[in-house]
Amino acid sequence: MKLFFYKTYLVLILLLCFFAIQTSVSQIKTDNQNPTVFIQNITPEKIEDNIEKILKNLTLEEKVAMCHAQSKFSTKGVPRLGIPEIWMSDGPHGVRAEISWDSWDYAGWTNDSITAFPALTCLAASFNPELSSQYGFSLGEEARYRKKDVLLGPGVNIYRTPMNGRNFEYMGEDPFLASTMVVPYIKGIQKNGVAACVKHFVLNNQEHWRDIINVEISDRALYEIYLPAFKAAVKEAGVWSLMGSYNKVRGQYACHNEMLNKILKTDWGFDGVVISDWSGAHTTRESALYGLDLEMGTGTDGLGTTTENHYQYYYLANPFLEALKKSEISESVVDDKVRRILRLMYRTNMNPNRPFGRMNNREHHDVARKIGVEGIVLLKNENNFFPIKDEKNITIAIIGENATRSMTAGGGSSELKPKFEVSPLEGLKQRYKNATLIHTMGYESGPSAYDKVISGKLNADSLKVKAVEFAKKADIVLFVGGLTKSHHQDSEGDDRLQYELPFGQVELLSEIQKVNKNIGMLLVTGNAVDMSWSGKVKGILQTWYLGSIAGHAIADVVSGDVNPSGKLPFSFPKKLEDNAAHSFGKLSYPGDGVNQYYKEDIFVGYRWHDTKKIAAQYAFGYGLSYTNFSLSNIKTDKNYYSENDLITISCDVNNTGSIDGAEVVQVYVGKPKSKVKRALKELKGFKKVHVNKEQSSSVSIKIPVSSLTFYDETISDWNLEKGEYIVYVGNTSNNISKKINITID
Q: Which parts of this chain interact with ligand BGC (CB under 6 A)? A: 90-91, 152, 199, 277-278, 413
379/361 Cα distance (integer angstroms): 32
Taking the C-alpha atoms of residue 301 and residue 313, their distance in angstroms, rounded to an integer, is: 10
Given 277, 494, 578, 601, the catalytic residue: 277
Count of C-beta atoms within a 10 Å radius of residue 617: 18
Q: Are strands 476-482 and 519-524 parallel, antiparallel or unpaired?
A: parallel
Within 10 A of 652 (CB to CB), how many other CB atoms are there? Answer: 15
Residue 74's beta-bridge partner residues?
87
Q: Which is nearer to ligand BGC, 186 or 522 (CB)?
A: 186
The answer to whether 467 and 442 are in contact (CB under 8 A) is: yes
Cβ contact 649:729 at 8 Å: yes
The verdict on whether 277 is a catalytic residue reads yes
| Crossing angle of the two packed helices 362-375 and 129-145, in degrees rounded to 10 | 150
State in angstroms the smallest separation of the CB of 279 from ligand BGC: 8
Angular region, 69: left φ>0, alpha ψ -120 to 50, beta rest:
beta
Q: Residue 211 CB, nearest distance to ligand BGC (Å)?
A: 10
* Under 8 Å between Cβ of 216 and 250: yes
Tell me the pairing of strands 646-655 and 696-704. antiparallel
Query: 596 to each of 224, 460, 605, 711, 734, how far by Cα in Å?
Result: 19, 39, 18, 22, 30
Nearer to ligand BGC, 224 or 415 (CB): 415
In terms of Cα–Cα distance, which of 734, 645, 94 is closest to 364? 94
Q: Among residues 97 and 653, whose Cβ is nearest to ligand BGC?
A: 97
Give the torsion through C-alpha atoms of 102, 106, 112, 117, to 10 deg: 110
Q: What are phi and psi of 345, to 5 degrees?
A: -70, -40
Nearer to ligand BGC (CB atom), residue 253 or residue 443: 253
CA distance 514 to 121: 34
Residue 199 or 208 having the CB closest to ligand BGC: 199
Q: Of 75 and 423, which has the nearer Cβ to ligand BGC?
A: 75
Three-state DSSP class for residue 326: coil
Least CB distance to ligand BGC at residue 113 (A): 18
Dihedral of alpha carbons 23, 24, 30, 34, sign: positive
Q: Which of 543, 491, 736 is nearest to 621 (CA)?
A: 736
Backbone angles phi, psi at 738, to 5 degrees: -155, 140
Dist CA 397 CA 676 (whole Å):
55
- In the bound state, the residue with its beta carbon closest to ligand BGC is 413
Find, among 274, 270, 298, 291, the residue nearest to 333 by Cα. Answer: 291
Q: For 398-440, give the secondary structure using H, E and C.
A: EECHHHCCCCCCCCCCCCCCECCCCCHHHHHHHHCCCCEEEEE
Minimum distance, C-beta of residue 246 to ligand BGC, in the bound complex (Å): 7
Q: Select 297 or 387, whichever has its Cβ closest to ligand BGC.
A: 297
Min. distance of Cβ 554 from ligand BGC in angstroms? 27
Q: Distance between terminal CA atoms of the chain?
A: 86
Q: Name the strand (E) or helix (H) holding 245.
A: none
Strands 150-152 and 195-201: parallel
Contact between residue 580 and residue 454 where contact means Cβ atoms under 8 Å apart: no
Helix, strand, coil share of the chain (percent; to 5): 35, 20, 45
CB 598 within 8 A of CB 588: yes
C-alpha–C-alpha distance, residues 533 and 511, integer Å = 12
The dihedral built from the CA positions of residue 399, 414, 199 and 272, taken in this order, carries a sign that is positive
What are residue 294's DSSP bridge partners?
A: 275
> What is d(CA 200, CA 80) in angstroms, rounded to the nearest whole number?
34
- H runs (alpha helix) in 266-361: 284-289, 318-325, 331-347
- The size of the chain, in residues, is 745
Which amino acid type is present at position 311?
A: Y
Catalytic positions: 277
